[in-house]
Each structure stands twice: as structure tokens, then as C-alpha cells.
Structure 1
Amino acid sequence: MRTVGVEEELLLVDPETGDPRAMSAAVLARAALDAGEEEVFEKELHEQMLEFATHPQEEMERLHAEIVRCRKEAARHAGELGATVAALATSPLPVSPAVGVNSRYQWMADQYGVVVQEQLVMGCHVHVAVDSDEEGVAVADRVRPWLPVLAALSANSPFWQGKDTGYSSYRSRVWQRWPSAGPTELFGSAERYHRRVADMVSTGTILDEKMIYFDIRLSERYPTVEFRVADVCLHSDTAVLLACLARGLVESAAREWREGVEPAGHSVSLLRLAAWRAARSGLTGELLHPATMRRMPAETVVRALVDHVEEALVEAGDLERVRAALAELLRRGNGARVQRELLERTGSLRDVVTGCVRHTQG
């Protein structure tokens, strides 16, 4: 059974007003004071962000429990300092992001200017174990057309600086401003992948391999492929749904590779259009079908994803969990829909944030 791990970035906010709070350093210091507590929280680019990473898990029930526990611990540590956390991929309220104080972040601020100031965006990264870099690159080549579907499921960032953007995932549009972000062409082998990464670092435009922001990449720290397209999910069960589907995609792609099935040859231009469509529509409109790259209802495309990975889901024992979680997601809506419904009911973006704080903690 392939293991799966999840990284989530959370927004630190004032529990009363919903305003983002630049206090990640204080929250991290407070978490470190807990005797014997394992360090699961990490600093991120901006002081209004707090990140955690789960352990690799085979059982999705355990993964879900760990995500819930980490969210609650993050809220507890922040609460002791007068703040709380929200699983929001962008801040609905206006904010002036504060870049973290260390040499890496300062280099990025100097190099990229306003792009860094705008990157107060929170994502969900899913790591799935692979046997080798060769298998990992084969997987990355074969899952490319399905990544926008994962992005649509997770979409949770309709608001930006106090306004409705018209997008379900505006975070993904902001993220594309990094020079190394987005879909990739086919690599064909681990050697070509590593050569491309080395060439990119050698330009001096990015600092190091950690700044390879491909939609899916080989992790530089773990024996995994890392899916990087998703917004942080408002609800923890959606994050687990993404983890199940990501593992299913990896297993299905690895089998295709071993059986000699060639990856779809869609161009980067088409993949960028599919990603834009997913960011705009989320689950409320149409998506580009990964096989045809033509518009179809979002629910039809999501069902096609489940059909594509069904065999892998059955063998992992995840099929019924995926069906139940997907039915709930389509009924309730993704984070973007929930946020817009909160605004329609309350008329207040502050109430949107405080409502999402409650959703974050279940």
C-alpha cells in the first residue's frame, strides 16, 4: 500500500474580526513550548500563515484523524495568543502580507518584488510514495490531464482583497505568477526531469530545487511525488478525498507505465487552459475533460476521474470512502461555494471568515 501524507497551510486570523494576523513566529514558539510535542508546524513565506505536515499514512482513517488533530492543535496554540486559524486559500478581507524574516524569504522578496507581496495564498500538498524517481516521473507524465479536476474539487478562494474575483480558485491564478509554476511538458525519464531541474536552477532565476513549483513534482525531501495544485480545503474530509484520489492516480499511472501505455500528449498550452477553466468554474460549471480537452459538466468530469482510478481505489479499500465524500462534497459544495453562500446569508466578509473558522475545526 502506498503511503500518503498531506501538508496544509492555514491562515492566522483574529477570532472576532476575521482580519489576518501576522504572528506565525509567536505561534510556532508557543507550540515548541509543549513538552514532548512533536514539531509538526512550520514557518511559511508570510507571517499570517501556519503550515503543518502529517506523517505518511496507509490508512485514510488515520490520515483524517491526524489532519483533524493538527487543525485543532493549530487553533489551540493560536488561541493562547489571541488568534485562531482558518482553512482559507486566500483572505476574504483586505490584508497587507508580512514577509517572514529570514535570508531565504528576503532573497525572494528582493528577486520577485510585488509577486512575493501578493503570495498570501494557502495550499494543500499531497505526497504519495513511489518506488523510484523513474516511477515518479512516469507517474507525473501520466497524471497531468487529471490535475485540474483535483483543483476544482478543492477550490476555496473566491475572494481577494475584499472583492469577489469571479473565480472559484483565485489562489491558483496568483500562484501562477511564480516563474517555475504550472503544468509541464512530458519528461519521459528521470534523467530528463533532473536535467531540466538543474538547468532551471542554473539560470539563477530560482534559488534552488525547492523553488521548482511544478503542478506535480518529485519531492526533494521524500521518496514521493507531490501534488501541488489544490487550495487548502475548507473541510478536512475534502482533504482526505484529495489524498484518496491522488493515491489512486499514482497507482493507476504506475501500472500504465509498467504495461507500456503511453501518456496523453496534451500540450502545456492545453493543460494551462484546463487549469484556468478549473480555477474559474470549480464544481459549478464546466471543466475540460482530460481525454478530449473539450468542455463537459464538472460533475461528469469528476465521475470520469473516479472511473479512471476505480480499480486502484478498490484495492486500497478507498472506493466507498471516495463515493461518500464526493456525494457530500457535491451536495454541500466546495469551499468557494460555502464562502459565497455565507456572504449571501450574512452580507459580511467578516462573517465569512468567522464562519470558515468553525468549518475548519469541524
Structure 2
Amino acid sequence: HVAVDSDEEGVAVVDRLRPWLAVLSALSANSPFWQGKDTSYSSYRSRVWQRWPSAGPTELFGSAEAYDQRVADMTATGTLLDEKMVYFDARLSRQYPTVEIRVSDVCLDADTATLIATLARGLVETAARDWRAGRAPADLGVSVLRLAGWRAARSGLTGDLLLPAGMRPAPAATVVEALLDHVADALADSGDLDRAREHCARLLRDGNGARVQRDLLARTGSLREVVAACVRRTQGATG
């Protein structure tokens, strides 16, 4: 959740976040296994989540009125129990004056969760500034955004991602650097830029949670040992 001043600003932010959300998925990817097998995905959890008919990226809304109408239309189909089941990748909260960014996997390390929160706040602030400055959001179709999300879920940080400028493949390090450049002013103003750069460099060097889990399995040959090692890692970080 990142605070916004109004629903109008919130929808403007949601419209401008869209090209960058897949990069957060790649950084946080931490679910390579499913039912005891390696799925070949870095974030298989995100693929399971996409089975919900209301989940995923959205088209441009343009206004709070248009956003509210879309939510009302979806709820009116009777397919959803209520508007809380509108599972957009980024949406307006109905409880708080915030934008919810919902694409992150469950992170292996607290440092990664902190990084995702930092980047999310930077993205929201940058989007709000762009809106106030009259800069239009990128006019990207949902089909292309879905491809970006799939690519991030598949390869995480080990292969190409889609660079938001043009939505063409580029090495993960290049795309992460583009994200950091995009939010640099906002993160510098909050004092978070250097720490965010350090955390991103560490993930690119050492791997996200999915890579760590696969490396553990390669060493131990046991998913039980992978789980135990992840528990010890979490306990060590909080002890």
C-alpha cells in the first residue's frame, strides 16, 4: 500500500505503473517448485494467481470514474463475490487511501521485501509526479503487459526481461537499471536510492529467492532440506 491524495491521483498512478510491475515480479520471484517438482518458472505462484479471471494487468482507465465503472461492471457479472475480488496487479484500496501493488512474490529475505516496498513507493511517487506534470502514461496493451509478466515469472533475473521503453527483450540487469533510473529522483528525495541500488546489485549477483532455492536443491537433493534451510535463513535474519 502506498498513500495517494485522491482516487483521481490513484488511478493516474495505476495507469502509469503498468510497464514496470513485471520487474518487481522478477526481483521478488521465489516459488520455483510446485507439488514437489521444479516448474522451470522462477515465480510459479504468480502463474497460479493468474488463473483468477479478475487478476492481472489492466488497460488504461484515464479517470477515477472510468475505474469505478469497470469495477462495478465486473462485480455486476455475478462472477465475483464482491469488489474485493477485483485482483488487478495494481488497484485502489477500498479500505485505505492507497494504491495497492499486488505483483510481488513472497520474498525469501526481509531485505528483498524491503527493497520491493521501497521500489513500489518510488514508482507511485514517480507516477504521481508524471501525472501532475501532464506526462501521459505509456499506451501499452494488456496482451503485451501479460507477456512481460510471464517473462518475469519464467526467468526471474536469470534471463531477459522486457524493457518498458519499447517492450523489447533486454538482460535483466539492464531492465533493473532502467527501473532504478526511472525512480531515481523519488528515491533520492526519500534517501533510499543508494540502498535500493545496493540491494538490486546484490540480487543480480547472488540471485533472487528462486535461484537460492534451486541452488539449495542442487546441493542437498531434497526439497525437505530446501524448506529447512529457508526456515533457518528466516530465523537467522530475525533472531
TM-score by length of 1: 0.65
1:285 to 145, 159, 166: 159
2:197 to 290, 307, 323: 323
Secondary structure at 1:226's aligned position in 2? strand
Q: State the match for 2:76 in structure 1.
A: 202
Provide, for residues 130-180 of structure 1, a one-character-per-residue CA deviation record: whole Å limited to 9, x for no partner.
Answer: 011100000000010000000000000000001000000001110000010
Q: State the match for 2:148 in structure 1.
A: 274
Provide, for residues 76-113 of structure 1, a one-character-per-residue CA deviation record: whole Å limited to 9, x for no partner.
Answer: xxxxxxxxxxxxxxxxxxxxxxxxxxxxxxxxxxxxxx
Alpha-carbon distance between aligned partners in 2 of 1:220 and 1:151, rounded to the nearest angstrom: 24
Q: State the match for 1:43 in structure 2.
A: none
Q: State the match for 1:351 in structure 2.
A: 225
Secondary structure at 2:103's aligned position in 1? strand
Larger Rg: 1 or 2? Answer: 1
Q: State the match for 1:237 in structure 2.
A: 111
Alpha-carbon distance between aligned partners in 2 of 1:222 and 1:190, rounded to the nearest angstrom: 15
Amino acid at match of 1:346: T
Q: State the match for 1:191 in structure 2.
A: 65
5+ unaligned residues in a row in structure 2: which ranges?
Answer: none
Alpha-carbon distance between aligned partners in 2 of 1:284 and 1:332, rounded to the nearest angstrom: 11
Amino acid at match of 1:297: P
Q: State the match for 1:18 in structure 2.
A: none
Alpha-carbon distance between aligned partners in 2 of 1:251 and 1:216, rounded to the nearest angstrom: 14
1:227 to 101, 104, 107: 101
Q: 1:209 offset after TM fit, Å?
A: 1.1
Secondary structure at 2:60's aligned position in 1? coil
Alpha-carbon distance between aligned partners in 1 of 2:65 and 2:125, rounded to the nearest angstrom: 22
Amino acid at match of 1:343: L
Q: Are 1:339 and 2:213 counterparts?
A: yes
* More helix by percentage: 2
Between 1 and 2, higher relative CO (CA 8 Å, sep ≥ 6) is seen in 2
CA-based RMSD: 0.7
Q: 1:360 offset after TM fit, Å?
A: 2.1
Q: Are 1:172 and 2:46 counterparts?
A: yes
5+ unaligned residues in a row in structure 1: which ranges?
Answer: 1-126
Q: State the match for 2:55 in structure 1.
A: 181
Alpha-carbon distance between aligned partners in 1 of 2:217 and 2:206, rounded to the nearest angstrom: 15
Q: State the match for 2:36 in structure 1.
A: 162
TM-score by length of 2: 0.98
Amino acid at match of 1:153: L
Q: State the match for 1:50 in structure 2.
A: none
Alpha-carbon distance between aligned partners in 1 of 2:105 and 2:77, rounded to the nearest angstrom: 29
Alpha-carbon distance between aligned partners in 2 of 1:360 and 1:265, rounded to the nearest angstrom: 41
Q: State the match for 1:254 in structure 2.
A: 128
Alpha-carbon distance between aligned partners in 2 of 1:154 and 1:194, rounded to the nearest angstrom: 30
Q: 1:358 offset after TM fit, Å?
A: 1.5
Alpha-carbon distance between aligned partners in 1 of 2:35 and 2:135, rounded to the nearest angstrom: 46
Q: 1:320 offset after TM fit, Å?
A: 1.3
Alpha-carbon distance between aligned partners in 2 of 1:226 and 1:291, rounded to the nearest angstrom: 24
Secondary structure at 2:144's aligned position in 1? helix
Amino acid at match of 1:269: S
1:145 to 19, 37, 50: 19
Q: 1:329 offset after TM fit, Å?
A: 1.6
Alpha-carbon distance between aligned partners in 2 of 1:128 and 1:285, rounded to the nearest angstrom: 30
Q: 1:321 offset after TM fit, Å?
A: 1.2
Secondary structure at 2:67's aligned position in 1? helix
Secondary structure at 1:230's aligned position in 2? coil
Secondary structure at 1:231's aligned position in 2? coil
1:264 to 127, 138, 142: 138
Provide, for residues 207-229 of structure 1, a one-character-per-residue CA deviation record: whole Å limited to 9, x for no partner.
Answer: 00110100000011111000000
Q: 1:331 offset after TM fit, Å?
A: 2.2
Could you list the structure 1 runs, at least 4 aligned residues long, displaced by more than 6 angstroms after superposition.
none
Amino acid at match of 1:190: A
* Aligned-residue identity in percent: 75
Secondary structure at 1:315's aligned position in 2? helix
Alpha-carbon distance between aligned partners in 1 of 2:80 and 2:233, rounded to the nearest angstrom: 36
Q: 1:328 offset after TM fit, Å?
A: 1.8
Alpha-carbon distance between aligned partners in 1 of 2:17 and 2:53, rounded to the nearest angstrom: 22
Q: State the match for 2:174 in structure 1.
A: 300
Amino acid at match of 2:229: G
